[in-house]
Chains A and B, each alone.
Chain A
Amino acid sequence: MMKAQQPLVSVVDDDESVREALPDLIRIFGFDVRAFSSAAEFLGSEWVKKTDCLVLDVAMPEMSGPELQEELVKRGETIPIVFITAHKDENERIPLLRSGAVACLFKPFSDVALQEALDRAFS
């Protein structure tokens, strides 16, 4: 039943403007979208199991993006993750990719770069 529907992309970012803008764009790509303002909100929701791809901000208060990634690993969840970050720091990006992230995008990124990353997640 679920597969009949469009794949779900969950966005976790503490920046409200991201939570507003990103879902609209992803929906245009043909995905279903849920937005969460923090890692805790996401983990506490019913949507963890239903999420097919996670677009995750790196720097957040409380639990950061990589910490959420670790938590999911702990729980046995293998959701592909696309990290987005405003810190253009290659030193941060490499460990993220090594830990199994599909992509790591530096804000601001183009709609094309996002589409490619999502395509990679679902390939």
Chain B
Amino acid sequence: MTGVPEKGSSRTLLNDMSDMVMVVSENERLRRCMNDILSITALPAVWSGGNVNDIGRALLDALSAILDVDFLLLRIEKHGDQPDILERLCSAEVSNSAVENLIATLGKSVGDWGHQAQMDWGASSYRLATEKLGVHGNIGVLVAGSRLPSFPSEQDRLVLHVAANQAAVAINEAFRVREDARAAAAREHNKIVDAIPVMAWSTLPEGWADFFNGHFLTYLGMTAEQAAGWGWTTALHPDDAGPLQSVWMQLLASGTAGEAEARLRRWDGEYRWFLFRANPVYGDDGSVVRWYGTNTDIDDRRRIEEELRRSAALMAQAQRLTVTGSVWWRPATGEIFWSDEAYRVAGHPIGTAPTVEMMLDRCHPDDLPIVAEFITGAVRQGQNVDLEHRLIMPDGATKYVHVVLQNIGTDPTDPEFIGAVADITERKIAEENLRRSDVLLSEGQRISRTGTFSWKVETDEITFSEELNRIFGFESGGQVDFDRIIQRVYEEDLPLLATKMADVRQGGDNPDYDIRLFVEGQVKHVRVVGRIVKHLDGTTECIGAVQDVSAQRIAELARDKLRSELAQLARVMSLSTMAASIAHEVNQPLSGIIMNASTCLRMLSEAPPNVEGAVETARRTIRDGNRASEVIVRLRNLFKRGVATVEPLDLNEAIREVLGLLATDLQRGRIALLAELSNPLPLIVGDRVQLQQVIMNLLRNSIDAMTEVAQPERGILVRTTVENGESLVIVEDHGSGLKTADTERLFDAFHTTKPNGMGIGLSVSRSIIEAHGGRIWAESNPSGGAIFGFSLPIDRDGSNEGPVAEPN
């Protein structure tokens, strides 16, 4: 028993003496026990605030002082971890290995430990006393062992019991305090993690997400359970899920930190861009134990980047389209920046370091002094530059550029310019062309006596061109309105103008019409054309031209007068040439009358009078008188009319009448006339006498042509047909034919092939036919001679509103 504490030896002595000293009063023992218990119950005051191990050690210290034991053992169950085992060896015979053996003997589970047991170990036998801490020993177990056979006494048991209870309460409290501290720390941690303005997360080594901070979950609108594992990936933008996952897989495989950008869907459905950053945490063996990561909202940055990129593209495009380059220039340092388009405008390869020399060496020699002056002003005084000048490009072409430099520097001695250089060649050329076409237009208007106008129909705003002002006798550049226009319009034509204006107001064009003006005492004839232009803003503009056709009209009037004079002359001519046939026509019955009358007289004066013969001759006289009268009627029809009469008429009938008049001429020329008259022939509208004049003209020409040549067969064919809605009259002969290839000239006035002709007949014929809306032509007859023909439009509706013929 060497090494036994002094107190122990006194107690051993006491025990040895126990049997002998029974006299030691029960009171003394009780008093000692009470003291022991009191000292144990005072322990909690020492333990307050202490940790579990301190409590355990203090308990064992106190018990070893009170009890006569060889060892003490305190096992404290911990939450989730290995239990703490505290031991106190109070005798030299007891070793650590003995305690370990004891623990092995007792078993792992505290609940199995018996309340009282005996343990043999080596030569010694130990008696054990066990007290559980807490219900079913869930806090721990206190074991005391002694070789004394009396152990444990009732007092020992009591002390152990109280000590175990005290320790249980204290340890429990210590546990609670420790738990509270841990929870507070966790709360504090979570608070921090939740408060940082990034989304934080962690995953297991294989990528299984096991933690999301509140910010992340709030953003996703998910619960931690929903987001756990791979649940959160459902919020990835479909376009980004693949790329992000492949980056993440690479990181997981390589075990290195990395980042990627992807869009995440917010709880409200909006996607925002995030930068995902993942950092691995390594364990002792170098393998990844966890991944920690953050997501940073970079949506605004992405948006700005996108907008920047877009506006840069737009800028470049705009520069390209407007052929305008940007320039930045700091003369003090010689720094110059050109945009790509600036290089293109200047004709230098993109990327060459720009210099002032490069700016000047393209300059047109004539413009160099002024450009150099501006540059000097810019460098020395920081003056702004705004000028247009020419460049000579390497291929010799001339370019016009507009250069603007604006000093944005704050220090006058260190100007800093930003500006633009624009290629304005096209504009310059367009300006030049515009100027030239303006000149051409106004010159053209002057020469053609044509003015133009614009009339904004809604506002009655009217603009006249220079020439139109001249036509109207308005001063140049003055305000034009309808009042002033109406004052100039010939009074009789005002209703016409009103009608035409009303047409325009209703949205109709004005196809050309003629109207008269009264300007400075003179009547002017003008022709007006107006076209409607509908503008995008819904307004209507009438744009038109006004041509002064006075000179033309005067010439037309003169021509009409000449034509009518010619027609008159032709009529006289044809009368004189017809005089013979008229005389013949009239003389024939007249001679009959005279002969019969003479015979009658002589028969009556015979003796005896031949009354029978006289009656016969008188009857013949009357008959011949009637014949003469018929001829007169026909002739009167031909001559009585001075004014053109328009009526529906049958061309066949008109031809038959002419043939009747020409019968003698035909007879005398011994010409066989064949008439192939289409039956029925639709009516045409016209002046019978004028058209008969034309027919007579053609037939007479044919007759004349036949007499000029010795032809065994002298025949004229007159045909009427209907073709393409026109009635055709064709006269074919086998006479001398056309002596010119230019058949049109035949119809010119004073063109003649006849020795005695005046060349008027065909020209008058043409004016008559054209006045009837028809046409007249001549061609060579393939079988010799000539073919003349004319066509007239058929009177379709049978009305009398045919063309008005007025060659007279």
Q: Which residues of A contact B (CB under 8 A)?
A: 14-15, 17-18, 20-22, 24-25, 28, 59-62, 64, 84, 86-89, 106-111
The residues of B that contact A87 with a CB separation of less than 8 Å are: 580, 583-584
Can you name the residue of chain B whose Cβ is closest to the Cβ of A22? B595
Q: Which of A14, A84, A86 contacts B584 (CB under 8 A)?
A: A86
Contact B591 A108 (CB under 8 A): yes
Rounded to whole Å, the gap between the CB of B610 and the closest CB of chain A is 9
* Further pairs besides A17-B589, A17-B591: 7, Cβ < 8 Å: A20-B596, A21-B620, A25-B602, A88-B587, A107-B588, A108-B591, A109-B591
Question: Given the complex, which residues of B lie within 8 Å of A89, measured CB to CB?
Answer: 580
Q: A3 → chain B, closest Cβ, in Å?
A: 25
Interface residues as binary, B388-432 with A (CB distance below 8 Å gives 1, 0 otherwise) = 000000000000000000000000000000000000000000000
For B574-611 the 0/1 string (1 means CB < 8 A from A) is: 00000010011001111111111011001100100000
CB contact between B667 and one of A17, A22, A59, A108 (< 8 Å): that residue? A59
Listed residue (A17, A59, A110) with the most chain B CB atoms within 10 angstroms of its CB: A17
- Chain B residues within CB distance 8 Å of chain A: 580, 583-584, 587-596, 598-599, 602-603, 606, 613, 616-617, 620, 623-624, 627, 664, 667-668, 670
Given contacts A21-B592, A21-B617, A107 and B587 within 8 Å (CB-CB): yes
Please determine whether B667 and A60 come into contact, CB atoms closer than 8 angstroms: yes
Our pick among B583, B589, B603 for the contact of A88 (Cβ within 8 Å) is B583
Distance in Å from the Cβ of B457 to the closest Cβ of chain A? Answer: 73
Give A108 to B591 CA distance when docked, in angstroms: 4
In the complex the two chains form, is B670's CB within 8 Å of A86's CB? no
Given A28-B603, A88-B583, answer yes or no on A21-B596 (Cβ-Cβ < 8 Å).
Answer: yes
Interface of chain A: mostly helix, strand, loop or mixed: loop
Chain B residues lying within 8 Å of A64, measured Cβ to Cβ, are: 668, 670
Contacts of B606 in A (CB 8 A): 28
Q: Among the interface residues B591, B624, B670, which one has the most CB atoms of the partner chain A within 10 A?
A: B591
Q: Which 3 A-B pairs have the closest CB atoms?
A: A111-B598, A108-B591, A107-B591
Contact in complex: B595, A25 (CB < 8 Å):
yes
Which chain B residue lies CB-closest to A20? B620
What are 6 A-B pairs with beta-carbon distances under 8 A?
A: A17-B588, A64-B670, A84-B591, A87-B583, A107-B591, A110-B594
Q: What's the minimum C-beta distance from A104 to chain B, rounded to whole angstroms?
A: 14
CB atoms of B595 and A21 under 8 A apart: yes
Task: Specify which of B588, B593, B606, B613 lies most central, judged by the most chain A CB atoms within 10 Å of its CB.
Answer: B588
Q: Which of B616, B623, B624, B627 has the most CB of A within 10 A?
A: B624
A19 → chain B, closest Cβ, in Å? 10
Q: Which of B588, B589, B598 has the most CB of A within 10 A?
A: B598
Taking the nearest CB of chain B, how far is it from the CB of A60, in angstroms? 7
Bound Cα distance A79, B743 (Å)? 50
Q: For the complex, what is the distance from the CA of A86 to the CA of B591, rounded to whole Å? A: 9
Known: A59-B667, A62-B670. A25 touches B598 (CB 8 A): yes
Assuming the contacts A17-B589, A18-B591, A18-B592, asked whether A86 and B583 have C-beta atoms less than 8 A apart, the reply is yes
B583 touches A108 (CB 8 A): no
Least CB distance, A109 to chain B, in whole angstroms: 7
Which residue, B592, B617, B623, B667, has most C-beta atoms of chain A within 10 A? B592
Select one of A14, A20, A28, A109 contacting B594, CB under 8 A: A109
A61 touches B599 (CB 8 A): no
Q: Quick one: closest A residue to B627, CB to CB? A: A17
A108 to B595, CA, bound (A): 8
| Minimal Cβ-Cβ distance residue in A for B589 | A17
Distance (Å) between the CB of B607 and the closest chain A CB?
A: 13
Give the residue name and chain of the A residue nearest to B583 (CB): A88
| A64 vs B598: C-alpha distance when bound (angstroms) | 27
**Docked pose: A57 CA to B602 CA in angstroms:** 24
Contact call B587/A110, Cβ cutoff below 8 A: no
Pick the contact of B613: A17, A24, A59 (CB < 8 A).
Answer: A24
A83 CA / B326 CA spacing, docked (Å): 114
When chains A and B are docked, how far (Å) is the Cα of A89 from the Cα of B595?
A: 21
Contacts of B584 in A (CB 8 A): 59, 86-87
- B620 touching A110, Cβ below 8 Å: no
Docked pose: A15 CA to B590 CA in angstroms: 12
Q: Which residues of B contact A107 (CB under 8 A)?
A: 587-588, 590-591
